[in-house]
Structure formats: C-alpha cells, structure tokens
Amino acid sequence: MHGIFVAAILTTAIAIAIFGILIRQLELPANNRLLWLAALIALPLQPLAFYFVRVPLDQWLSAHLVHGSFTFQAIVSLYAPLTEEPAKLLPLLVPAIRRDITPNNFVRYALAIGLGFALGEMWFIAERISRVPEFSAAPWYQSGGYIGERLMTCFLHATFVAVALRQFRRRFILGIAGAMAMHWAVNFPIFLMGWDVGGMGKAFWAVALQVWLIGFVFAGVALLSYFVFGHFAPARFFYGRRHCPECGHDYDASFFAVNMGRTRYERCPQCRHWHWTT
C-alpha cells in the first residue's frame, strides 16, 4: 500500500476520534442520526466541487486569460472559497436536516459537516499525491506534514460552516459570505507563495503558511467556543466544565494541565490546589 494511504487511514482515525468526542461532549440538542447523515452527505462534496466546478472554470479561465498572470492567479485564489463553501451546505437540502438546525445546535452540525467534507478532501489529496512518482517510495511516517495539515483543515472547515450556519435563520447570504471571506484569508499565503512576494523563497512561504494555518486553527476553536458558550473558552470546548473534589467549585477547564484522556491534573482557580478531575 502506498505510504500516503497509510497516512490517510491514520489521519482519518484521529480526526473521527477527536470530532466524535467533541460532537458528543457538546450535548447540544440535535438528532444524532441527522448529524451523521449530514457528515456522510458532505464526504464526496469536495471532489465533486473540484471536478464539476473548478476544473471547467479553470479551463474556461485559461482560454481567456494568460495562465500565470497576476489576474489569473488572483481569480484562482477565489476558487476554493467560492466553490467549497456553498458545496458544504448541500446537506441542508435534506428537509429533516434543515428543520433540525437551530441557533442552539448549529455548532454540532458544523463540526459534523466540516468533518465529512475534510475527510473527503483528505482522501482526494492522498489520491493525487499517490500519482506523483517522487512520492511513490516514501514511507507513511514521512507524511507528517500531510497528517498535521489535514487535521487542521478539519477544524477550519468546521469553523467556516459554523460562520455560515450561525446566520441560517436570518441573514444566510451574509453568513455564507463571511465563510468565504475566512476561507480566502486562510489561503491567502498560498497566493503570496505563488508570487514569492518579497523574494523570500518557497521554503520561507511554506513555513509561513503552516504558522498561518495554526494561528487560524486556534482562532477557529476560540470562535466555536464563543458560538457555544457566549464567551471565548477554547479549553472548555475540548474539556468541558471541571469539578474540584476539594472545594466543590465548578470552573472552565484550563489549557495548563496534565491530560490523561478524560482525566486531568489541574489547579482549581477557587482553592488554588492541584487535583485530579474527571
């Protein structure tokens, strides 16, 4: 088996484990069957949007503009936001899913749809990498960049969907526009790398892109926590509320702790003592 497919299997398992825990932990009122149906519908949407929208669009654009020109590259940078964000919302065509989405549970749906879409994209990219002769003999453990980037895009896609769904019952078009704008902002360093702005070299822009993505992932998790709790509490988004066994105080989880699965060793902000909490 090609090494990239082994990496894709591992990344898929990690992504499903992380998002499965998150979707279950939030406990926002939603039909679980419809949640996973939305994720399944989203699975093939990235490859479909690529082959049936982006490829024909690129062919038409190449016939009318100079390939590689600034205008051409600027328009190409809009491909992903303009095609992928509407594609992610196709699960809403199912009436039962559409009715079940509310202001109280849209983040759970965003996580499910974002996961499904990201998994489809994950295997789409793995299949394209497998065609490159230079990577044919590469073992799976040399695909760390692929694994890390694909896991980050799971959170990014979920964030984009959440931005759109938050406005679902009011200003949906505005929500979709916001999701597109965020998506374009995430991809902006790719545009700069293509032109090697500042003459910094491809290696510099490759590192800059990873740092940019990591920053957006943290911002996305913070934004999702704001949508759920009404304030920025990214640690609570992952670890929930904690209960101090000594003073009985309930508090939002902190990032500064020793994690052992669902059990953590952390400091209570009330009594200031360290305890194991569950």
Query: pLDDT (tens digit, 9 = 90+) per residue, 112-154?
Result: 999 999 999 999 999 999 998 888 778 888 888 899 999 999 9
Distance between CA atoms of residues 155 and 171, nearest Å: 23
Say if residues 158 and 111 touch (Cβ distance below 8 Å). Answer: yes
Range of the domain at 62: 3-233
Burial (Cβ within 10 Å: 0-12, 13-18, ≥19) of residue 85? buried
The bridge status of strand 258-260 relative to strand 241-243 is unpaired
Averaged pLDDT of the chain:
89
Q: Are residues 172 and 262 in the same domain?
A: no
pLDDT at 189 over 90: no
Q: Are residues 37 and 127 in the same domain?
A: yes
Confidence class for position 96, pLDDT limits 50, 70, 90: very high
Say if residues 114 and 158 touch (Cβ distance below 8 Å). Answer: yes
User: Token pair 């992903």 is at which residue?
Assistant: 80
Q: Are residues 203 and 86 in the same domain?
A: yes
Say if residues 101 and 168 touch (Cβ distance below 8 Å). Answer: yes
Confidence class for position 15, pLDDT limits 50, 70, 90: very high
Confidence class for position 58, pLDDT limits 50, 70, 90: confident
Q: Are residues 84 and 15 in the same domain?
A: yes
